[in-house]
Amino acid sequence: TQLLEQSPQFLSIQEGENLTVYCNSSSVFSSLQWYRQEPGEGPVLLVTVVTGGEVKKLKRLTFQFGDARKDSSLHITAAQPGDTGLYLCAGESDSNYQLIWGAGTKLIIKP
Amino acid sequence: KAGVTQTPRYLIKTRGQQVTLSCSPISGHRSVSWYQQTPGQGLQFLFEYFSETQRNKGNFPGRFSGRQFSNSRSEMNVSTLELGDSALYLCASSSTGFSTDTQYFGPGTRLTVL
């Protein structure tokens, strides 16, 4: 069974600080997606990484796919209160093309 | 373009009852997927419909069923509700349903089973 573990489960920091959240697995994924979900809303896709070692930037957010395509990280620089939300990663299974979801990292940025 | 809509937004039911949730996808999208989201468990895939046919199914008991209509609107039904069915039920639509295709999620239906 393929699993994606996200860490930390919960993170509360002050505005302006930097942070990194992780998405790890022992399985290889064809691609990995990151979503942000705000209270009362469904997840919204932020980025998809496909190639091992790939780095993508979205303003202050930097996403990296591990060289072996088993893990990924999301780094936020100078966090803002608007970054508050639940960050979810989802990997596309190599075997059946279905998405495997992590449980999420709940991020709170305090003004 | 209107987003994915789900009705109702909130439901309270008692054990043993059944419930039907509705999802209207983005216009032109033919794939609708359903997920159960619980704290600490993430999103669990229920099933995916494309052009009125169930194409993929997750590991949920037969009490969970769904269907899709010719206009791509989808419904999900849960019979004989259990306390553990309390969750946020999300639907997502996409053009093709392939995992490389962007999924657009609705706001979800919050189901509470008492």
Closest CA to B99 of A1, A90, A52: A90
Task: Using the predicted structure, report yes or no on whether residue A94 has a pLDDT greater than 90.
Answer: no
CA distance A3 to chain B (A): 11
Q: Do B56 and A98 touch (CB under 8 A)?
A: yes
Per-residue pLDDT band for A2 (boundaries 50, 70, 90) equals low
Backbone angles phi, psi at B47, to 5 degrees: -165, 165
CA A43/CA A4 separation, integer angstroms: 17
pLDDT value of position B42: 83
pLDDT band at B72 (very low <50, low <70, confident <90, very high): very high
- Omega prior to B61 cis, within 30 of 0: no
Instruction: Give contacts of A99 with chain B, Cβ < 8 Å.
Output: 45, 99
Tell me: pLDDT of A98 over 80: no
pLDDT at A1 exceeding the cut of 90? no
Q: How far is A40 from chain B (nearest CA, A)?
A: 6
For chain B, give the mean pLDDT.
94
Contact criterion met (CB below 8 Å) for B71 and B10 = no
- CB–CB of A31 and B103 under 8 A? no
Chain A: residues touching B (Cβ < 8 Å):
4, 9, 30-31, 40-45, 48, 88, 90, 92, 97-99, 101-104
Q: Tell me the average pLDDT across A67-77.
A: 96
Name A91's Cβ contacts closer than 8 Å, sequence gap at least 6. Answer: A2, A4, A23, A25, A27, A29, A30, A31, A32, A33, A99, A100
**For A61-70, A85-94, B58-67, B72-81, which range has the lowest pLDDT when averaged over its residues?**
A85-94
Q: Do A99 and B98 touch (CB under 8 A)?
A: no
- Does A102 sit within 8 Å of B107, measured CB to CB? no
Mean pLDDT of B21-45: 93
Mutant choice from A10, A25, A41, A92 vs B, greatest count of B C-beta within 10 A: A41
- Contacts of residues B76-80 at CB distance under 8 Å and 24 or more positions apart, as own/partner, are B76/B20, B76/B21, B76/B23, B76/B34, B76/B46, B77/B18, B77/B19, B77/B20, B77/B21, B78/B18, B78/B19, B78/B21, B78/B111, B79/B18, B80/B16, B80/B18
- For residue A28, give the amino acid letter: V
Looking at residues B58-74, what average pLDDT do you find? 95
The Cα of B18 is separated from the nearest Cα of chain A by a number of Å equal to 24
The span from the CA of A9 to the CA of B6, in Å, is 28
Query: Would you call B38 an interface residue with chain A, using a CB distance cutoff of 8 Å?
Result: no
Cβ of B42 within 8 Å of Cβ of A44? The answer is no
pLDDT of residue A111: 94
Confidence label for A97 from pLDDT (cuts 50, 70 and 90): low
Q: Which amino acid is at A27?
A: S
- Nearest residue to A36 (alpha-carbon basis) of A93, A76, A5: A76
Q: What DSSP string runs through B37-75?
A: EETTTEEEEEEEEETTEEEEE-S--TTEEEEE-TTS-EE
For residues A87 and A3, which has the higher predicted lDDT (pLDDT)?
A87
**According to the per-residue pLDDT averaged within each range, which of A89-93, B70-74, B101-105 is highest?**
B70-74
- B99 pLDDT band, cuts 50/70/90, is confident
The answer to whether B87 contacts chain A (CB < 8 Å) is: no
- Which chain A positions have a beta carbon within 8 Å of B102's beta carbon? 45
Q: Are B8 and B108 in contact (CB under 8 A)?
A: no
- A20-52 confidence digits (pLDDT tens): 999 999 999 999 999 999 988 999 999 999 999
| B106: pLDDT strictly greater than 70 | yes
